[in-house]
Every structure is written in C-alpha cells, then in structure tokens.
Amino acid sequence: DRLMPLINQIGNARNLSYMFYKTTIDSTEILDTINYANNGLIYDYCFGECPNITNADDLVISPKTSSAVGMFYKCPNLTSASYMQIKVNGSVSKMFSDCRKLSDISELDMANVKDTSYMFNNCPRIDEMIEELPSSCNNADYMYANTNISECEFVDVLFGSSNCTYEGFISGASGMTVR
C-alpha cells in the first residue's frame, strides 16, 4: 500500500530487475498497475526471494518482454504457477529455480520463449513436465534438474526446435525412468 504512490509515478518502465527482490510483497498483481515501455521489458529477479508470494497463477508476461531470468528465483512459499502466459521473447532461465514448494505448473503457455535452462531446477515438488516446449526454444539445459519427475516421454516433450540443447535436462530427478 505504501508502494502505490511510487508505482503510480513510474512512467514507461522498461527494467524491473530486482524491483521487489527480497521484499514482503505478497502478490504479482502489482505489475498490472505499472505503465510499461513499448518493448524490451526486463523482469530479471523481479520477485526473487519474496517470502510472501504464494502463487503466480494467471500471470501474463507480455511478448514485449525480452527477459524474465529468475523472476521468482528462490521464492520459498511459491506453490503454484498455473495458467501463466509466459510470452517472453527471450530468456526465462531460472524463472522458478529453487522454489522448493512449487508443485503446480499446469497449463503454462510459453510461446516465443528461447531459453528455459534451469527453469525448474531444484524444485523438488515438481513431478510432471509441461506439455511441450515451444519451437522457438534453443536452450533447455537442466530445465528439470533435481525435481521429482519420475517419468519422461521424450516424444511428447522434446519435439520443439531441432536446434534446442538439452544438456542435463532431467539430471538428478528422483526415480527417473525414460520411455
């Protein structure tokens, strides 16, 4: 509430990197109140390590965005990121990395994303993969490393871009069987 007078004064915001990093903010809805620049938006670590963020459900990240690296990095109480529209025209590397309570990533729309490396790394409650990677993806290294994924059907998940790298894609996933 004390932030709103400041937020209202922001005009044509482009770089929101670390804007709410390690704060007590409890909702992503504050992003709806900011006036944004036309393109090249950056959300790197915007909500990183925010203990009161519990969900990112229904959040829309505009295709005007070029980077959302670590946007929710190490949010200790984030449990759900369902129905998000992640239309970043660039990197979402480490977006949810080390969110140890994150379990629901259903219905993520990731059109345009180019880099999903380490996206769910060290999220031990993730036990299912997203339906498919976008064809624009060129780096999915360690995307699901150290999760609770126990089964991977590569045919269903990995048919996006033929130029995509998958080094360590499911490294350290517990009980892994590959079909």
CA proximity to 25, closest of 6, 52, 44: 52
Averaged pLDDT score across all residues of the chain:
87
Q: What is the CA radius of gyration of the chain?
A: 16
Q: pLDDT at position 34, please?
A: 75
Alpha helices, H only, the chain: 4-9, 154-157
76 has a pLDDT exceeding 90? yes
42-66: per-residue pLDDT in tens? 999 999 999 999 999 999 998 889 9
CA proximity to 96, closest of 112, 113, 117: 117
Could you tell me the two tokens for 164?
């995509």
